[in-house]
Chain A
Amino acid sequence: MQMSTEIQCHTISVLVDNESGVLARVIGLFSGRGYNIESLTVSEVDPREKLSRITLVTSGTEMVIEQIKAQLSRLVPIHKVRDLTVEGAHVSRELALIKVAGTGDKRVEALRIADIFRANVVDSTNESFVFEIVGKTDKLDAFIKLMEPLGLIDVARTGVAAIARGAEAL
C-alpha cells in the first residue's frame, strides 16, 4: 500500500493522568523517535480525576503522524489521543504577551496596530507597552512581524490550545 509522503501539520489532543513524569514521557517519545514538536501546551483540566490535557502541534508525513498517535496511545498514563485535524472542525487559540519599547511615532503606530488586532495593553510605562493578544497562530505571527520595526523587544507565547467544534467532548 502507498501512503502520502507530503508533510502535513496536525493538532493532536491528548488526555493524560496528571502525574509526575508524564510530560517527560511525551517529550522523550518525540525526541527519541525524531518527531517534530511545533507547539506543546499542557495544563490540568480535571482536578477531581487528576487529568491534564496536552495540545500538540506536530508535522510529518501521513505515516509519521499515524506513528505519533500510535506511540502516544501506547504510553500507560495516556487516556485518549485525538487528531483534531482529521476528526473535523476545531478551534485553536494561542495567547501572546508582547513587549514593545519606544517613543514618539513608533509608539503611537504600535498602539494603532494593536487596536486593529484587538490586542490589549496590559502594562505600560513611558517607554514601553506590553500587549496581550489572543488568536490563531498566524494572527499572532502577523502581529509580531508588524511590531518588529516598532521596537519589539520581548515575546512570550503560550502555544496552541485547541478543542473540537460541536457538542462532543474529547
Chain B
Amino acid sequence: MAQETMSGAKIVLKALVDQGVDVIFGYPGGAVLPIYDELFQQNQIKHVLVRHEQAAVHAAEGYARSTGKVGVVLVTSGPGATNAVTGLTDALMDSIPVVCLTGQVPTHLIGNDAFQEADTTGITRQCTKHNYLVKKSDDLARTMHEAFYVATTGRPGPVVVDLPKDILMLPAPYNATAKVKHKSYKPQVKGDLKKIEEAVKMLANAKKPIIYGGGGIINSGPGASQLLTNFARTTGFPVTLTLMGLGAYPASDKQFLGMLGMHGTYEANMAMHDCDVMLCVGARFDDRVTGLLSAFAPNSKKIHIDIDPSSINKNVAVDLPIIGDVAHVLEDMLKVWKSSQAKADAKALDAWWSEINGWRKINCLAFDQGSEIIKPQYAIRRLYELTRGRETFITTEVGQHQMWAAQHFGFDKPNQWMTSGGLGTMGYGFPAAIGVQMAHPDALVVDISGEASFMMNMQELSTAVQYRLPVKVFILNNMYMGMVRQWQELLHGSRYSESYSEALPDFVKLAESFGAVGIRVHKPDELDGAIKEMMAVDRPVLMDILVDQKENCYPMIPSGKPHNQMLLGPVAAGTEAIADEGKVLV
C-alpha cells in the first residue's frame, strides 16, 4: 500500500490527533512556525497560548495529573526550549506524563551557533525520561508515537521531541501507528506472585502494620485508589499518604492518619516510627518522608511495591520488593489475601489502633483562630468546607501554604490535588490550574498560593482571561516567603535575609488590570462571604487574603531528626530546634 506523504508539520499534527490529544499548551517562534501554520488550518486540537514556556509545561502537568492523560507542550527552539526546562524537571521528579515538542534550527545549521539554537537534547537529557532529535523525515512519525509510549508507560515522565525546521517542512511518509512496540524499553507491570504471597503472609502476621502510599497510586489510575481502599478496608490497617499520594485514599475515612513526613501529622509519623510491617505502595522513601534515615521505622519489615526498579533500595533497604504497577499488584494481593483466607491479628490490631488514637488526641493540626487576624490554616479550612458540595480541584505553589493545604484540605478522590512535590517549584500552581481548568471546564479550580510564589508566573493571568478560564487564585498573603522565613527563624536566629516580600503589587488592581476579578480579605469574619463570592464569579479571581505574618507550619520534623521527634509547635526561646548536622540538610 502506498504510504501517504505529507509535510513534517502535518505528520506532527496527525500523530497528535492519532494519540487522542485535544489540547496543547505552547508559544510560537521561528523554528515551529510550520506547526503553528498547520494548527491554524485545523480544528481538532485546541492550542492554549501561554505567556511563558515554563507555564506551558506546568499547565500540561496540571492537565495530565487531573485527567490521567498526557500533557502536550509545543515551544520554539533556543529560549523556548530552555524556558521549558524547569517544567520538564518538575514533571520528571513527580512522574507526570508530558510530551514536549521543541523547535530546532534546520539540521544543516545544528552546531553552528545559529540564531535561537540551543543543544536541546543535550540540555534536557537529565531532566526528561527520554528525548529525541529527529534528524530524518522517515523517523518522524515513529518518533512521535514512541514519545507518547515512553511518556505514559512504566513510571511516567516527560519526553522531549526536538524538531528541526527542515524536518517540519519536508514531505515524508506517515509510516507509523499509535501502537508502539519497543525493542529495549519494556516496563514490567505484573508483580511476582510468589512475592505477593509472601507479602500477604507478612501482613497477616503483623502486629503494628501500616500502609504508606504515594503518587504511584495516582499514576496507576483511579482503579488503583479503589483497590488500595478495598485492601485497607479488608485488613483494617491504618493508611498514611505522601504529599503526592493525597486523594489515593479518602481523607474522610477513619483509617486515614493524614499525610506523613516533615509536615505530616503526629499520628502518621508516630505510627510509621513504631510499625512492625510497612507496606509501601508507589512511594519512594523521599527525604521529606523518612526524616533521619538511620532511625526510620527502626523495628519494621518493609514491603515495597513500585513500577520503577531503581526506586527499590535507593534510600531505604527493604525486605520484600515487588516490581510492578500498583493496580496490578494490589489486585493480586487482594485476591491472595482472600483466597488464602488470611486474617489480620485482630487483638494486636485493636491495641495498635488504641495507640494510634492516643496520638490522634494530641490534635496536632489545631490552631487558634482569634477574631482579628486570619490564620492561614483557617482560610484553607473554610475553603474546604465551603467547596465540599462542588467538584473541586486544588493546585498549589510551594511553601507554607502548600503544606497547610496538604494538612487542612481533605481529598477523597485521586487526581484532584496537583502540587509540585519533588522539585518544589514556586510558580507551578497557577499555570497548573489553567491546565486543570482546560480539562475540566465546569469544575472549580483553585490555586492555593502565597504572594511570592504567585508572582513567579503571574503573567498567566493574561492566559486565563484570554481563554475565559475561571481559575481562582487563593493567595495567603503573609508578605513573606513564609517557609524561608520559618527556616530562618528556626536555623538562623530569626535573621530574615531577603525573605520579606517588599514592594508587593495591589493584587486587586493587578487582577483588574488583566480583566480578572480581585477580592481582598482582611478579617476572619469576611472570609466566608469572600469565598462564596469567589465561587460565584465565572471569571478568573485573585483572592488577596491577608493572613498572620508570623504563623509557622507545624507539626514539623526538624531536619536530621527521626519521626518520633516532631515539633508540635514553637520551641522555647534559646533552645536549638535543629542540631548542626541537621542544618546542612535542606
User: Using a CB–CB distance below 8 Å, which chain A residues touch chain B?
Assistant: 1-3, 16-17, 20-21, 24-25, 28, 32, 63, 66-67, 70-71, 73-79
Contacts and interface: CB of A to CB of B under 8 A. Distances in A.
B551 to A, nearest CB: 38
Contact of B302 (A1, A70, A73, A77): A1
A125 to B, nearest CB: 39
B309 A20 contact: no
Given A1-B319, A24-B122, A71 B184 contact: no
Nearest to A79: B184
A79 B182 CA distance: 10
B310 A3 contact: no
Interface of B: 121-122, 125-126, 129-130, 133, 150, 182-185, 302, 308-310, 312-314, 317-319
Contacts of A3: 313, 317
Given A17-B184, A24-B125, A67 B308 contact: no
Given A24-B122, A63-B313, A70-B309, 5 more contacts: A1-B318, A1-B319, A21-B133, A74-B309, A77-B184
A21, A28, A76 — which one has the most chain B CB atoms within 10 A of its CB? A76
9 closest A-B pairs by beta carbon, nearest first, are A70-B310, A76-B130, A79-B184, A1-B317, A70-B309, A3-B317, A1-B319, A76-B185, A71-B310
A3 B318 CA distance: 10
Contacts of A32: 126
A76 B129 contact: yes
A78 B183 CA distance: 9
A12 to B, nearest CB: 15
A67 B314 contact: yes
Contacts of A79: 183-184
20 contacts: A1-B302, A1-B317, A1-B318, A3-B317, A17-B184, A20-B133, A21-B122, A21-B125, A24-B125, A66-B312, A66-B313, A67-B310, A70-B310, A74-B309, A74-B310, A75-B130, A76-B129, A76-B182, A78-B184, A79-B184
A106 B564 CA distance: 69
Contacts of B183: 17, 79
Contacts of B309: 70, 73-74
Contacts of B314: 63, 67, 70
A56 to B, nearest CB: 16
A2 B133 CA distance: 43
Contacts of A73: 309-310
A74 B317 contact: no
Given A1-B302, A25-B125, A76-B130, A67 B185 contact: no
A74 B311 CA distance: 11
Contacts of A20: 133
Contacts of A16: 184
Contacts of B130: 75-76
Contacts of B317: 1-3, 63
Given A17-B184, A20-B133, A28 B126 contact: yes
Contacts of B310: 67, 70-71, 73-74
A28 B318 contact: no
B313 A67 contact: yes
Nearest to B146: A76
B129, B184, B185, B314 — which one has the most chain A CB atoms within 10 A of its CB? B184
A134 to B, nearest CB: 32
Contacts of A71: 310
A81 B122 CA distance: 24
Nearest to A49: B183
B184 A21 contact: no
A52 to B, nearest CB: 12
Contacts of A24: 122, 125
Nearest to A77: B184
A29 to B, nearest CB: 8
Contact of B308 (A17, A63, A74, A76): A74
A1 B310 CA distance: 17
Contacts of A63: 313-314, 317
B312 A70 contact: yes
A55 to B, nearest CB: 18
B313 to A, nearest CB: 6
Contacts of B150: 76
Contacts of A66: 312-313
A78 B182 CA distance: 11
Nearest to A20: B133
A127 to B, nearest CB: 42
Nearest to A15: B184
A165 B559 CA distance: 49
Contacts of A1: 302, 317-319
Contacts of B129: 76
Contacts of B308: 70, 74
A1 B478 CA distance: 45
A29 B319 CA distance: 27
Nearest to A29: B126
A68 to B, nearest CB: 9
A25 B130 CA distance: 9
A160 to B, nearest CB: 24
A21 B184 CA distance: 16
Nearest to A32: B126
Nearest to B135: A20
A71 B311 CA distance: 9
